[in-house]
Structures are given as structure tokens and as C-alpha cells.
Structure 1
């Protein structure tokens, strides 16, 4: 690894993160890197491929990918530009929300690259009861989809998206919809959450029927997730999905 980084002077384990066996901050002779990695035999090592592949396309809104080490017998490691920042605050009135809105608007203007990405309709197919409704999710936009606050880094007045393990091609309004669930879990009412990003072009183009279908799918998805693992944050996401669906049903289509 030192052939990419220079001589390592210090290594510090990152305190937060859920998807990597290795998460380190490396300080070298000349630079500083954030390193994440998985064992080569890990079944979901494909998430490393996704982050490495999509990185160059989202460099304007994410820490830049710098290098990758795959020659190691046991580990697959990716080095990212180190960003000194903090994770986003999703509580009502947070000053981070306009920054996130700006980043999501920039993402909405990035053309989806011609890569072998998962599509929104295939990802949510297990949770949409009527297969004919999957057409609402079809689109040509590049989506992040995982707006866990740990995946949004606030630094120098910007919001940067990290952890691109699930880049997806689909309807542009899906990302704001995913974010709405996180805002509800962060303390917003469903109505307040929808208001936060009302000026996003992608949200303004969202079809009411499509939103209802997606909200139903999110309830089914988070119910499955929370029943498999009753971690507090997963239970809260299940609750948030129910709150959003209730709101969608109340305002009609």
C-alpha cells in the first residue's frame, strides 16, 4: 500500500461506519487518506467495485477516490481523499439541510454513466406488490439512495456524499424520497420533511401516484429489514416509512 501513499506515519481507526471491515485514517509523509476495505472473500465485496467505479463520476460532490489495492492476498482496500468534516444533522431547522439540497441538485444534473448499475425498479421490485407499478421508478438519473446521516459529510460549507456502495439508475425523485424518510426519522413531520426539498427540480417532477407506490414499497422494505434485525435505528426507519405513507395516503394522489 505504501507505494500509493508514501511512508505511513500514523493510522487511526475511524469511529463510525457500518459497511466496511476496515475504516482507517492514514497520515503519511506527504498526505492524508481515508481508507476503507473488505476481505477479498467477503460476499459483498462487490460494493468496493461500485465505489471504485462510480468515484470519478461524482468527484464534484464526494471525496475523490485516489487508489486501490487488490494485490493483497486477504484485503481489498480503497484510498479516498481525506476530508476533515462531520456527519450531517437532520433535525428540524438544521443549517446542514440547504447544503444537502444544493448537493442533491448538483447530483441531479450529473448524467448517469453507461455502467452496469442496478436499476431502481429491480432494487425495489421485491417490495412493490403490483409489478405493473414498477414503471414509476424507471428513469435515467444517477441515484445515491442511502442518505443515512453517516453518509453525508459536512465540510467547508459543503455537503459531500460518501459510501457509494449502491449507485442506482432510476427516476430522479427517488433520492429526495429516500431523504424524506431520513428527515422524518430525524424529527420532522412527514409534511415538514417534504417541504425541506420542495424546490429541488427532481422533487417538483415527482408523480403523486409514483410517490405513493414508492412509500408503500419503503414500508415493506423497512419492515423486512427491522424484522431481521431490530436495531433501534432500523425500527425508527420502519416507523418513518409508515409515517410518510400515511401522509401520502391522506393527501391523495
Structure 2
């Protein structure tokens, strides 16, 4: 199968899916100067521990502020994700960090976001973070994102949908995050979950986000049944017909199979396996649904 990735699609990343990340020193002096026009002279750069889909990602401190900076070279196919983050930002604040500025110079596209204090969410079974993430997902479901200029679900997953019925199945006007990796969920000291990395924001049926979350939960070690119990904390999940979830589990299995085949590494292989375990669970005769 040949796929043409749309904006923010993981399949558009590097062959290893880990090799994009460089260092602050990769930025031309002209770009650093443009950044410093917004933040003042940079005094400290703390590279991000997580993620791989930006050439530069770091918390930058100056004498007057701290900001989170992420950037890509404009000649890389994944650079279109920068535009997606810019477009969706007005719709997701304060659930996501506020975009403060954008620098486009010397072959680079760099975004500066408000710095958020928080830790990565824990997805293991029984974690107290799971209902917090479900709460954030529910809150996102109430965001009026009908006019958000992001890809639609039938575009996003087009290579993995089997026909018009499945295209209709995923259509909707809910604003979706879709990348529910635990490192994109920051638990603040006050116990709130803030969502970062909106590069794969999508508009579609509201149940898609909890369905995408199921794969990440299985990847984290949960059984499909336990993962679905977590997803059931999100009202949109209960609004989906079982047959629709059955079909979308197969769509995600095809998607992650493609990613693992074309961008092989341990993470993509384990996500492929997690998606296939969920799809097999949905196919099993008479599973007990949460």
C-alpha cells in the first residue's frame, strides 16, 4: 500500500522516527538573534527529554522569561506540522500552552510557547493519572473547534480507510489531539493535565480521541479490556456504536502496521503490536464491553 501522509502524520517523519532531534547549536546565528528579539539574551538551554519530531526542542531561559522552543528546518516534510500547531493554538488555550511567537528565518521555522511546569503522565493500570487524562480529553471535547483549519479525519487516515462507509464513520467537527503519548500529557503541580504537541490535530468524530488513546494504553502495558475501561471515562466513547469501534480498531492497526514497516524501531513495532492486540480483542466473540 502506498500512502501520502498529510500534515502531522507520523508516517511523514524520518526513517528511524528518532533522528530528527539535533541541538540548539544547529540553529544559525540569525535564527538565535530572532529568538532573542522575543525573549532577550539566552542564558540557559535545557534540551527536551522527550519527543523526536522536531529538529530543536528545548526550554530556553533568559533574564526575563522561560519559554519552550521547538523548530524544524523548512525543507523537511514534517515542517508542515508547525503550521498545524499555529493554526490550532487559539482554539486549545488554556488546555494547551499558549503560542507566544513564531520565527521564520534562514531556512528554519521556530515556535515559542509558554513554559509549563509538569511531569509526564503515568499510563500504567491503576494510575491516578488515567482519570485526569480522561478529564482533559472530555474537556477538549467541549472546545468549539468547528472552524479550526486542521486536517479532517477522512483525510488524515485516508490510506487506511476501506471505502465511503468508513470515511463517513470518522467524519465530524470535534477538535481532536490524536497523539496521546504519555509524554504529551503534562500533569501540573495542581493536578491538571495540559496537552502539548498539537502537530497531529485533526477534526473528526468525537470518539476518535479515546479510540487513539486505547492503543497508547495497550502500548503502556494495559490489557485491551482495561484500556477500554479507561476510554469509557470519556463520554464520547459511549456514543460510538460498537461496530464503529470495531472498524476503527482495524484502521489504526493498518496505520501502525504501515508506520512500523516504513519507519522501523522498537517504539513503532510495539505500537503496531498494541494496535493489533486491540483489533484482535474487538474481533473476539462476545468481549465484555466497558
TM-score range, shorter chain: over 0.9
Q: Is the counterpart of residue 77 in structure 1 residue 110 in structure 2?
A: yes
Q: Is the counterpart of residue 145 in structure 1 residue 194 in structure 2?
A: no
1:50-100 CA-to-partner distances (Å, cap 9, x unmatched) read: 111111211121111111111x21221101111122222111011111110
2:276 and 2:183 map into 1 onto residues whose CA distance is 22
Contact 1:119 1:138 in 2 (8 A): yes
2:166 and 2:101 map into 1 onto residues whose CA distance is 41
2:261 and 2:129 map into 1 onto residues whose CA distance is 31
2:230 alignment counterpart: 196
Contact 1:128 1:213 in 2 (8 A): no
1:81 and 1:102 map into 2 onto residues whose CA distance is 22
Q: Is the counterpart of residue 158 in structure 1 residue 192 in structure 2?
A: yes
Q: Aligned to 1:174, which of 195, 202, 208?
A: 208
1:65 alignment counterpart: 99
1:177-216 CA-to-partner distances (Å, cap 9, x unmatched) read: 0001111111111111111131321111011111111111
The TM-score with structure 1 as length reference comes to: 0.95
How many residue pairs get matched?
Answer: 252
1:232 alignment counterpart: 266
Q: Is the counterpart of residue 248 in structure 1 residue 275 in structure 2?
A: no
Contact 2:148 2:175 in 1 (8 A): no
Deviates more, 1:4-13 or 1:172-181: 4-13
1:46 alignment counterpart: 80
Going from structure 1 to structure 2, the CA distance change for 1:113 and 1:194 (only over 3 Å counts) comes to same
- SS in structure 1 of the partner of residue 71 of structure 2: strand
1:152 and 1:13 map into 2 onto residues whose CA distance is 18
Deviates more, 1:101-110 or 1:228-237: 228-237
The TM-score with structure 2 as length reference comes to: 0.83
1:214 alignment counterpart: 248
Contact 2:88 2:149 in 1 (8 A): no
Q: Is the counterpart of residue 3 in structure 1 residue 44 in structure 2?
A: no
Contact 1:57 1:113 in 2 (8 A): no
Within 5 Å, give how 1:21-40 maps onto structure 2: 21-40=55-74
2:53 and 2:46 map into 1 onto residues whose CA distance is 17
Unaligned stretches of 5+ in structure 2? Answer: 1-34
2:230 and 2:47 map into 1 onto residues whose CA distance is 35
Deviation at 1:7, TM superposition (A): 2.4
